[in-house]
Structure 1
Amino acid sequence: MSWQSLVGGGAWSGLDWTGRAVDSARADPYLAWADTTAFACLGGQPTGWVRVILELEAHWPGDGAPPLTAQAFAESLENANAAWKRWIQVSTVYRFPPHDLEASRFLTAIVTKQFFAEIDGAMKGVVKRFELGMPIAPGDAAQSLAPGPEASVPGTAPVFGPIAQPGAASPDAPDQPHAVFMGVMDDGLAFAHERFRSVADIPLTRIEYFWNQDDAAAAPLGVHYGRELARDEINDLLEQCVSNGLVDEDAVYRLNGYVGARKRWAHGTEVMDLACGVRPNKIEAAALILEEERTGTVQPPRILCVQFKTAGRTIRDTSGLWFAVHALDAIRYLLRRADDLANGAGYSVVLNLSYGYMAGPHDGSSIIESAMDELIGLHRDLSIVVPAGNSNLLRCHAILPIESGTSSALTWRVLPDCATPGFLEIWLPKDADASSVTVQITPPWGDKSPAFPVKNLYTWQPGRNVLCTAVYLDRVATGDRNMILIALAPTTMNQSQRDPAPAGNWTVTLTNGSGDDLEIHAWVQRNETAYGYPLRGRQSRFEDLAYKRFVFGAHVRDFDEGNPDEGNPSTWIKRRGTLSSIATGERTVVVGAYRRTDGRAATYSSTGPSLQETKRSGPDAAAVSEDSVACAGVLGASTRSGCLVALSGTSAAAPQVARSLARQRIIEHANGLQPNVFTPQLSPRAWIEDEADSLDPVPAALAPHLLAPCPGTLNPPPVPLGQHAYVPRLPEIRAGSGRLPSPRWKKRGIKL
């Protein structure tokens, strides 16, 4: 048999994956996969420090113990638990947080292998759950970030010290206006672009702080990493590279050794432009309402930004294995810098995070969603805007009903020539008895696995290497329910000593031995190649003959209702429930996408509900992501001044809503400009919902065929009007019903 059951300690971590005690910390199943494969898909076994993200218990161990917070834990490493620093270290951004965030229990750290031995020893009762921030992938070594020998590299890793006590504000603070900060976290942020500068003989930046999480190539892993540029340092770079009033932006990036903006287009630059770019000329792109900003009636927000670690390495890994660690670091950094700049005065923060991935619990219980919800709840005035996702049509979500005492199978189609690993997550209902549910895996060729229950870890090794790992734990760190992780090796290899996994249809059979019927959800993780990078990943998907992709063969079917023909069984592949795995939290603002010219929902825009429908039934609103049928995307800044490029997807819709939130905050606090309509009782999410519902624009020209034949087929709508794509009000699962308007300029969004 080529299937093997693994018991005992992991090869690298030493954790006993199948025998963990009920009161032990919840562990990361992806670490179990990495353990069994010797980190073969992640650059080899780590030899030093690695990054982790932690959620702490509510209190220190022991009866009557004090509350346990990220700050208290970081302080303990400097005092009572100083010996732990040999195997765990924490950044000062968690040791010295703004006073609003002192009660937070989420943090990141760097750890050695000993941490995993101590997780059930010295740290038992301290850590509630942990996830690994995966190492770099093989073949993804970054280019050297060092500039030429004549250039100095400004910026050092951000290190923080204590902040003033509450009420000990600067004497100038009472006279300071209420500050509104826009924080953007993304990849390829062209910080020297004219959209982020003021217009002057010597151009000055509008960016207060820019943290590039990239280290120089081969830099050792440290608790403080990357390089930070303050406003004065950016201005100094601009001044060195200005000639006749024009900035040589390429020279700016060379001086700083920054490779994030080396391409002519970058996702982050356009996102930041849509969120907070100011246009020094009459050319305006697809942000919501810009006239007041252009004329100076409403001042733009102050900009803080983070370049995610690292271009060419983690960013091109779309699976999200790196995401939580660096996203939480970025959020906490932005909130600390905003607090520093406010200097005791009132302030608001709007953060845009135009990222997402597909697999996860989809009930708001993932570690990064829980952390974001906690921070929004603790902070005085914080909004975090995320996109709904673009996976509505990707066939990556399955709902598998299994009656008591029966089995059901799903087919996972893995594509050839895919150089990234593939992941399938199967989530059981929260109240299900995992011991009564077994799983069996059938490769396209080779042996079937045994039908194994919970607390098992199986590998398939038909030759030299492990090609498939199935991790079925009783408790996981990635959510609050039981999850079965199936991980596959890439289907093509550039290393002769490694075998590829077979492409084709993998069958996963689930058997329900309980006395109750179960509804099981499964998601295929994102693994396609990120836009703008060389082709590596090819998105795997579910396969079912009953799944209908088109309406009468004429246009794409973007809804589930009416999917099967009369008399045929319904497909288990579902478009609903495809929200991004960071878009199912309770407090974040989630944005879907629609087309400007006819008000139709973008076919790719992911739909709700989450598995906690009481918390989220779908996106909160929709914004424009497509100009028209002929003109895909919305216009925004390229990485060089004077150039525009089109960006599609909910990633383009989210920053427009973030801009609207920031603009509203600015209006509120501008004397006499507008009465205060934002109240503490009205959360940013609720305000966006109300605003979108009240302004929902549907072009009048669309009215004649709203209740008539579908314009794509000239046939009557095949589904009830409430679910059809061409309706005055979008279904709540598609866009929260409301759409935020955008000016309908001619010539593809350009107003001359």
Structure 2
Amino acid sequence: MTYDWTELDPEKLPRDPRTDFVLNELERFIAADLGLGDEDPDSDHDVDLLARRSTAFDKQWWMAVVSVARSGDKISSLTINELIKKAEEYQPVPLSDFLFVPREYDEGQRTSTNLDVITIYAQRAYLDAVNAPDGEEKLGIRSILISTPLEDETLNPGAEPFAPPDLEVDVNQQTVVVAVIDHGIAIAHDLFRRRNGAGELELSRIDFFWDMDGAPEPAADVQSSVGRVWTRREIQNVLDHNIHNGLLDEAAVYRELGLIDWRFSRFKACAQRVSHGTHVMGLAAGYPPDEDTGEDRRIIAVQLPTRLVGNTSGNGLKLPLEQALRFIAARLSKYKIGRASHLPPLVMNFSFGNFMGPHDGTGEIERAIDKELTDMSAATHRARLLLLPSGNGNLSQCHAVINLTGAAPRERLDWNLQPADRSASFLDVWLPVLNPVPNNAMRLKLKGPGSVGSITLPAGMVPQHAVLIDTDENGNPFVVAALAYRPPSAPTFRGKFTVMTVPTDHPMNVGPVAPSGKWKLTFKKGAAVEDLALNVWVQRDDTLPGFPEFGRQSYLSDARYRRFGRPGGDVVAEDPPGHDSPVCRAGMINGIACGNLPAVVAGFVRSDGEMADYSAGGPTLNGLRLAGPDASAVSDDSVALSGVLSAGSSSGSRVPMNGTSVATPQVARWAADQIAASPTTPFGRAKVVAAALNDDPPSPRKPSILRTGGGRLSIESVFGQLRWPGQ
């Protein structure tokens, strides 16, 4: 193997190096993972196979979240219609065939000049043009985040917006709508159904279910640009003709709904004993069929695409959130309380997290969340609350704070890539707010393991980009890693280095892979600046529970980092006093949970009141938030009884699962109860903090605010009596 670092021409650099890396350098891995090109088994020629894969890859549709550029007045934004027109007029080849805007955006939204972040679906030709140096000028897109490609069978492209469905959902004054955005939601579980007048268990409490993995149905009550939307009427029809002798054939229901349709995916969460979405929704809105409260907890469920959830290398798990929130807002507008035009209160739960991002609320998804919540609240004075987990990365060694001073201008750090990792690995180094950044404010040196050489790039106001090229046995070059620097831009105004590597392994022969081992990072401050505080974050890369093995988490290491205490060898869950390693536990809070409006929940152990070792905390870099999460709830019943009980995938079953993702829906359930007691009283993040402070006043044993936020909420266990009587 021959490794060679090559610096690219600054005038030809892609605007977002990560997008370019995923679209182009990861093509051979993504194409192999998706099985592209396998439709012609007669050809054994690698060149022909690569060509077929390239063609098929070009036809893949990607979900992208983009920031819309400002118009000529620098105040208003371009409109969606103007973005479409720019694609139609693009030279030398129009790009309108490689783009479609979600048809959920109505005419009012398509002509709005107050846009910030929107979602689009696009093919590589359009995305590469957007990411070119003149992409903002020619196509009107300021920044871009992309996902893993979507399943073709789930897409419903078109140019015209969908007509608003003629639906109304009548509810009473005590109704609170609970919306769950997750994956693997077994909607026919008995905890989400009610008995009819004859006492038969057949009525669904789910008013709307958007399955982003579903196949579009032209005759459906509600249309969507991706997947299939099921209304309560449609769900009820499926339940009715699959009930035999008073018993529901759940497998038949899920086959009919497409939740265990093996034609579209080799992984179906609802076919497993435990599924994340069912467990979470059971905690947030699951009630025994005879319990009266269940009648007043109406459900909107959104199931995320399996490809985006399972493939961590695309960092696309958070991308569907903007469309999910818009879907929920649109469906909520169909609810009516009696004859009044009032809309019911709403509590939403999204139990996923991400390590990356600026952690100051200025990222695309954080801005989209705040915008959608603001718009929902503007339409009514009823409560609109989104709950997010603080994350489970406290011990992951995926965050470091590099302090460069005149006395200590240099720091070193190791980034460890694991062998047999089928997913790409990413690391970001964020500078503080410096605008402009002086030339050579700092320099980052990257040295690969073994025979891999080194490259050094400076920070300043000029973008930099270098790629590491390896050659196969035939002398064909392949990019296996890249180091890029981008100067500050609105709205973050912080420069950023990004390190990217292809996977370290693949079961197919797709060319050279990245070498596993220690990638050495050296940070050196220049004389042009005073002290610098840099934040380093590594992308989350674990295989998610239940999914086939895919990712292996890369991590940071330093000889001064202490994993275990002495004596005894217990895991050290908080940075100890005098901690002098740049690798730290603090600051590993969920990267998308740093906006202004969502309530963020950490996890603690019920039996001893200690914070769960994995529960991530602050500080965030957003001065409008608490230093850590907003509150914490139980994520484990005890050290011996890990997790908390909730719904398994089949009716009647209860299974344990732990993590801040199960603490969060318990707070969503509690919030719905609080709101139901006073439906017209505003209820937001501040109410969660206030309740936590009241339940867990200051005391010598209260955990740090960086870990627990306002405090530990005293919430009655939902299903805990089944494993621990007396809870």
Once residues 526 and 434 of structure 1 are traced to their aligned partners in structure 2, the CA distance between those partners, rounded to angstroms, is 31
Once residues 122 and 601 of structure 1 are traced to their aligned partners in structure 2, the CA distance between those partners, rounded to angstroms, is 46
Q: Work out whether 1:73 is the aligned partner of 2:69.
A: no
Aligned to 1:559: 574
Provide Cα deviations, 1:368-410, integer angstroms capped at 9, x if missing partner. Answer: 0111012222222421110000011111110111124832211
Provide Cα deviations, 1:112-165, integer angstroms capped at 9, x if missing partner. Answer: 4246536736855943322222326xxxx89x99xxxxxxxxxx999732599x
Alpha-carbon distance change, 434 to 582 in structure 1, aligned in 2, over 3 angstroms? farther
TM-score by length of 1: 0.79
- Contact 1:108/1:329 (<8 A) preserved: yes
Report 1:460-609 matches (<5 A): 460-464=468-472, 465-475=478-488, 479-513=492-526, 514-554=528-568, 555-562=570-577, 564=579, 570-609=580-619
Q: 3-state SS of the aligned residue for 2:615? A: coil
Q: 3-state SS of the aligned residue for 1:494? A: coil
Q: Work out whether 1:327 is the aligned partner of 2:336.
A: no
Aligned to 1:41: 29
Report 1:52-201 matches (<5 A): 52-57=64-69, 60-62=71-73, 67-68=76-77, 72-74=79-81, 77=84, 85-95=96-106, 103-112=114-123, 113-114=125-126, 116-117=128-129, 120=134, 124=138, 126-135=140-149, 160-162=162-164, 177=173, 179-200=175-196, 201=200
Aligned to 1:439: 444
Alpha-carbon distance change, 469 to 653 in structure 1, aligned in 2, over 3 angstroms? same
Structure 1 unaligned regions, length at least 5: 10-15, 19-26, 146-155, 282-293, 565-569, 670-675, 699-721
Once residues 612 and 136 of structure 2 are traced to their aligned partners in structure 1, the CA distance between those partners, rounded to angstroms, is 51
Once residues 664 and 189 of structure 1 are traced to their aligned partners in structure 2, the CA distance between those partners, rounded to angstroms, is 25
Alpha-carbon distance change, 247 to 729 in structure 1, aligned in 2, over 3 angstroms? same
Within the candidate set 7, 32, 50, 2:20 is matched to 32
Deviation at 1:84, TM superposition (A): 7.1
Q: 3-state SS of the aligned residue for 1:337? A: helix
Deviation at 1:110, TM superposition (A): 1.9
Q: Work out whether 1:403 is the aligned partner of 2:428.
A: no
RMSD: 3.5
Q: 3-state SS of the aligned residue for 1:660? A: helix
Alpha-carbon distance change, 339 to 751 in structure 1, aligned in 2, over 3 angstroms? farther
Q: 3-state SS of the aligned residue for 1:435? A: coil
Report 1:636-715 matches (<5 A): 636-669=646-679, 678-679=681-682, 684-696=684-696
Once residues 313 and 95 of structure 2 are traced to their aligned partners in structure 1, the CA distance between those partners, rounded to angstroms, is 32
Alpha-carbon distance change, 78 to 340 in structure 1, aligned in 2, over 3 angstroms? farther
Aligned to 2:458: 453
Q: 3-state SS of the aligned residue for 2:149? A: coil
Aligned to 1:748: 723
Q: 3-state SS of the aligned residue for 1:132? A: strand
Provide Cα deviations, 1:43-67, integer angstroms capped at 9, x if missing partner. Answer: 265413433212224x53248x8x4
Alpha-carbon distance change, 306 to 224 in structure 1, aligned in 2, over 3 angstroms? same
Structure 1 runs, 4 residues or longer, greater than 6 Å off = 78-84, 156-159
More divergent stretch after superposition (363-372 vs 476-485): 476-485
Q: Work out whether 1:300 is the aligned partner of 2:301.
A: no
Residue 299 of structure 2 aligns with an amino acid whose one-letter code is I
- Contact 1:548/1:563 (<8 A) preserved: no
Percent of pairs identical after alignment?
30
Q: 3-state SS of the aligned residue for 1:93? A: coil
Q: 3-state SS of the aligned residue for 1:462? A: strand
Whose strand fraction is larger, Structure 1's or Structure 2's? Answer: 2
Deviation at 1:444, TM superposition (A): 1.1
Matched residue pairs, number? 652
Deviation at 1:639, TM superposition (A): 0.5
Alpha-carbon distance change, 642 to 179 in structure 1, aligned in 2, over 3 angstroms? closer
Provide Cα deviations, 1:257-310, integer angstroms capped at 9, x if missing partner. Answer: 2224111210000001101011236xxxxxxxxxxxx3x268532100111012
Residue 5 of structure 1 aligns with an amino acid whose one-letter code is E
Q: 3-state SS of the aligned residue for 1:429? A: strand
Q: Work out whether 1:226 is the aligned partner of 2:224.
A: no
Q: 3-state SS of the aligned residue for 1:108? A: strand
Once residues 317 and 115 of structure 1 are traced to their aligned partners in structure 2, the CA distance between those partners, rounded to angstroms, is 20
- Contact 1:440/1:451 (<8 A) preserved: yes
Aligned to 1:708: none
Aligned to 2:240: 239
Within the candidate set 283, 288, 294, 1:274 is matched to 283
Aligned to 1:24: none
Structure 2 unaligned regions, length at least 5: 32-52, 217-222, 261-267, 378-382, 473-477
Once residues 446 and 460 of structure 1 are traced to their aligned partners in structure 2, the CA distance between those partners, rounded to angstroms, is 12
Q: 3-state SS of the aligned residue for 1:233? A: helix
Aligned to 1:423: 426
Within the candidate set 347, 350, 355, 2:352 is matched to 355
TM-score by length of 2: 0.82
Deviation at 1:613, TM superposition (A): 3.7
Once residues 185 and 511 of structure 1 are traced to their aligned partners in structure 2, the CA distance between those partners, rounded to angstroms, is 43
Deviation at 1:5, TM superposition (A): 1.2
Q: 3-state SS of the aligned residue for 1:482? A: strand
Q: Work out whether 1:733 is the aligned partner of 2:694.
A: no
Once residues 98 and 340 of structure 1 are traced to their aligned partners in structure 2, the CA distance between those partners, rounded to angstroms, is 18
Alpha-carbon distance change, 482 to 633 in structure 1, aligned in 2, over 3 angstroms? same
Q: Work out whether 1:51 is the aligned partner of 2:51.
A: no
Once residues 360 and 508 of structure 2 are traced to their aligned partners in structure 1, the CA distance between those partners, rounded to angstroms, is 39
Aligned to 1:288: none
Q: Work out whether 1:391 is the aligned partner of 2:393.
A: yes
Residue 403 of structure 1 aligns with an amino acid whose one-letter code is T
Q: Work out whether 1:208 is the aligned partner of 2:207.
A: yes
Provide Cα deviations, 1:692-727, integer angstroms capped at 9, x if missing partner. Answer: 1112399xxxxxxxxxxxxxxxxxxxxxxx9xxxx5
Residue 708 of structure 2 aligns with an amino acid whose one-letter code is A
Once residues 630 and 575 of structure 2 are traced to their aligned partners in structure 1, the CA distance between those partners, rounded to angstroms, is 20
Provide Cα deviations, 1:635-660, integer angstroms capped at 9, x if missing partner. Answer: 00001001100010000011111112
Aligned to 1:341: 335
